[in-house]
């Protein structure tokens, strides 16, 4: 069903069509919008059902069909940004002529606000689990071959497990395999850096997941837009504990894609030295890229610690957030425990930074 839309939105409702060759089926979606990129398209094929979602600003266009005939597992997606065309290419299992694509399922052809469309989950296989610190691990999940999904910078996914008969869902922010990846990141893999809380509800169960076992992963969600960072001169990142996770892809994106960028500074708050995530990698990156600098602040340091101590404060922030030029455009990103983020935003506002200068990562 198409929800109520205003006149402008109606003109923007996509249309679609399909055609076939002896061996393939192509479903084409004409989005009527430019700049369509691969990460705006999510496609799944599970149990004979094809579900496609194209994200067009605040709306999603949904295709949901029970296919009439069998297809092979690998599904390809092509986007032609300039004309706003998306093609989903399916390989026929049998070399026969299809009379129709299939039977429509719930929500087929709907164009609805992203916030109204609920989540779709697919089963992903745990490929590896490696220690990052004494209580934090890097989990590598593999998407099914028949899924096309890329998590944009600054967005998170939800993991779902059934614990004692109840579905439990928690958000996690994908990172890259490393800060300076030796190999291009494989798009079929999702890396998650997750802290295990011994008394937690979800993470101890996750910790027990064995290599080769499966977990449900949702579509991405989040309010961060790449355009917020595309023209900045100075980028300041304030992270506490696992609040570091959204900074990982953001750092790589900024250093590799933002031409105007002059400085990137990460202020990383942790309890002890042993809690610092990817410390060596951060120091190596700071050594390799002169634009990047990192500072560690510990709230419960050991006696030997000679670096900065304490929690987030106005004086730490005024010392840290300094423009590289008087008129430089800046962005300050913040993420961590809710009280950390709330206090940080308040201190920054008191220091005169506007809401456009600040982005906080929250669910
Ligand atoms: P919980 O059961 O929530 O408990 C967490 C801790 O709080 C435990 O130590 C527990 O003993 C204590 N606790 C629970 N209830 C109480 C209470 N009433 N009083 C006092 N203490 C209590 N985490 C990551 O590790 N990596 C990520 O990439 C990541 N991304 C996130 C992205 C978003 C948008 C958000 C909102 C959160 C993210 N988180 C991330 C946090 C994650 O979603 C979970 O909250 C976290 O994994 C804890 O889940 P849990 O069920 O194991 O613990
Ligand atoms: P932690 O308890 O190890 O604390 C790390 C640091 O945060 C501390 O050293 C301290 O400097 C600061 N801090 C903690 N509590 C504070 C408080 N009450 N006031 C001021 N500063 C405080 O952190 P953790 O266990 O790694 O937790 C990380 C948090 O980040 C979780 O709450 C998680 O939900 C959140 N998180 C959010 C997102 C997101 O919203 N996108 C992503 C990842 C993590």
How does pLDDT run along the chain (363 residues), one tens digit per residue? Answer: 455 555 456 677 999 999 999 999 999 999 998 889 999 999 999 999 999 999 998 899 999 999 999 999 999 999 998 899 999 999 999 999 999 999 999 999 999 998 888 899 999 999 999 999 999 999 999 999 999 999 999 999 999 999 999 999 999 999 999 897 666 666 799 999 999 999 999 999 999 999 999 999 999 999 999 999 999 999 999 999 999 999 999 999 999 999 999 999 999 999 999 999 999 999 999 999 999 999 999 999 999 999 999 999 999 999 999 999 999 999 999 999 999 999 999 999 999 999 999 999 998
Q: Are 311 and 318 in contact (CB under 8 A)?
A: no
**What is the C-alpha separation between 346 and 353, in angstroms, rounded?**
10
Name the residue with the closest Cα to ligand 2, atom 4. Answer: 241
In this structure, the answer to whether residues 80 and 58 fall within a common structural domain is yes
Angle in degrees, CA 249, 252, 255, rounded to 5: 145
222 CA closest ligand 1 atom index: 34
The number of residues in the chain equals 363
Euclidean distance between the first and final Cα of the chain, in Å? 27
206 CA closest ligand 1 atom index: 52
363 lines ligand 1 (CB under 6 A): yes
Q: Among all ligands shown, which has an atom nearest to the Cα of 132?
A: 1
101: in domain: yes
What pLDDT, on the 0 to 100 scale, is given for residue 98?
A: 97
What's the distance, CA 53 to chain centroid?
16
Q: Among all ligands shown, which has an atom nearest to the Cα of 267?
A: 2
31: CATH: 2.60.40.790
154: in domain: yes
**Cα-to-centroid distance, 278 and ligand 1 (Å):** 20
In this structure, the answer to whether residues 211 and 288 fall within a common structural domain is no
Name the residue with the closest Cα to ligand 1, atom 39. Answer: 172
340: CATH: 3.40.50.80
360 lines ligand 2 (CB under 6 A): no
- Residue-number span of the structural domain to which 300 is assigned: 226-360
In this structure, the answer to whether residues 41 and 101 fall within a common structural domain is yes
What pLDDT, on the 0 to 100 scale, is given for residue 1?
A: 43
For 95, how many CA atoms within 13 A lie in the half-sphere containing its CB? 2
299 lines ligand 2 (CB under 6 A): yes
Q: Among all ligands shown, which has an atom nearest to the Cα of 241?
A: 2
1: in domain: no
111: in domain: yes
Quick check: ipTM above 0.90? yes
In this structure, the answer to whether residues 64 and 171 fall within a common structural domain is no
**What is the C-alpha separation between 347 and 275, in angstroms, rounded?**
25
In this structure, the answer to whether residues 231 and 214 fall within a common structural domain is no
End-of-domain residue from the set 189, 218, 247: 218
End-of-domain residue from the set 94, 116, 138: 116
Q: Among all ligands shown, which has an atom nearest to the Cα of 192?
A: 1
Number of structural domains (the chain) is: 3
Give the pair of three-digit tokens for residue 184.
Answer: 């291009």
What pLDDT, on the 0 to 100 scale, is given for residue 247?
A: 98
**Cα-to-centroid distance, 241 and ligand 2 (Å):** 5
Name the residue with the closest Cα to ligand 1, atom 6. Answer: 200
In this structure, the answer to whether residues 82 and 187 fall within a common structural domain is no
In this structure, the answer to whether residues 263 and 355 fall within a common structural domain is yes
End-of-domain residue from the set 57, 92, 116: 116
Name the residue with the closest Cα to ligand 1, atom 25. Answer: 194
335 lines ligand 1 (CB under 6 A): no
In this structure, the answer to whether residues 319 and 294 fall within a common structural domain is yes
In this structure, the answer to whether residues 287 and 253 fall within a common structural domain is yes
What pLDDT, on the 0 to 100 scale, is given for residue 187?
A: 77
In this structure, the answer to whether residues 235 and 349 fall within a common structural domain is yes
DSSP state of 145: T
18: in domain: yes
95: in domain: yes
2: in domain: no
In this structure, the answer to whether residues 132 and 50 fall within a common structural domain is no
271: in domain: yes
341 lines ligand 1 (CB under 6 A): no
In this structure, the answer to whether residues 187 and 299 fall within a common structural domain is no
Name the residue with the closest Cα to ligand 2, atom 21. Answer: 340
226 lines ligand 1 (CB under 6 A): no
């Amino acid at each position: 069903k198409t929800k109520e839309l205003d006149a402008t939105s109606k003109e923007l409702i996509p249309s679609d069509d399909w055609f076939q060759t002896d061996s393939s089926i192509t479903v084409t979606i004409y989005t009527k919008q430019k700049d369509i990129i691969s990460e705006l398209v999510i496609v799944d094929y599970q149990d004979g059902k094809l579900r496609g979602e194209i994200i067009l600003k605040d709306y999603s266009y949904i295709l949901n069909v029970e296919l009439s005939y069998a297809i092979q597992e690998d599904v390809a997606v092509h986007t032609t940004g300039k004309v706003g065309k998306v093609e989903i290419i399916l390989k026929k299992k049998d070399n026969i002529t299809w009379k129709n694509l299939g039977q429509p399922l719930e929500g087929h052809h709907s164009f609805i606000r992203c916030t109204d469309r609920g989540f779709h989950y697919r089963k992903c296989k745990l490929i590896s689990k490696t220690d990052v610190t004494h209580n934090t691990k890097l989990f590598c999940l593999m998407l099914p071959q028949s899924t096309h999904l890329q998590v944009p910078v600054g967005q998170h996914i939800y993991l779902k497990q059934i614990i004692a008969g109840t579905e439990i869902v928690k958000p996690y922010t994908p990172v890259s395999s490393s800060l300076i990846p030796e190999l291009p990141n494989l798009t079929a893999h999702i890396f998650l850096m997750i802290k295990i809380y011994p008394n937690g509800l979800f993470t101890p169960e996750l910790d027990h997941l064995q290599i080769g076992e499966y977990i449900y992963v949702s579509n991405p969600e989040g309010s961060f837009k790449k355009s917020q960072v595309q023209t900045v001169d100075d980028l300041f990142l304030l992270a506490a504990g696992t609040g570091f996770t959204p900074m990982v892809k953001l750092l790589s994106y900024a250093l590799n894609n933002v031409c105007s960028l002059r400085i990137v500074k990460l202020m990383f708050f942790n309890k002890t030295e042993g809690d610092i995530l990817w410390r060596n990698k951060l120091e190596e990156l700071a050594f390799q890229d002169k634009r990047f600098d990192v500072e560690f602040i510990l709230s419960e340091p050991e006696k030997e610690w000679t670096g900065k101590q304490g929690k987030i404060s106005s004086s730490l922030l005024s010392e840290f957030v300094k423009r590289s030029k008087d008129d430089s455009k800046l962005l300050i990103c913040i993420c961590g425990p809710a009280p950390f983020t709330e206090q940080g935003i308040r201190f920054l506002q008191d220091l005169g930074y506007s809401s456009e200068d600040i982005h906080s990562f929250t669910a």
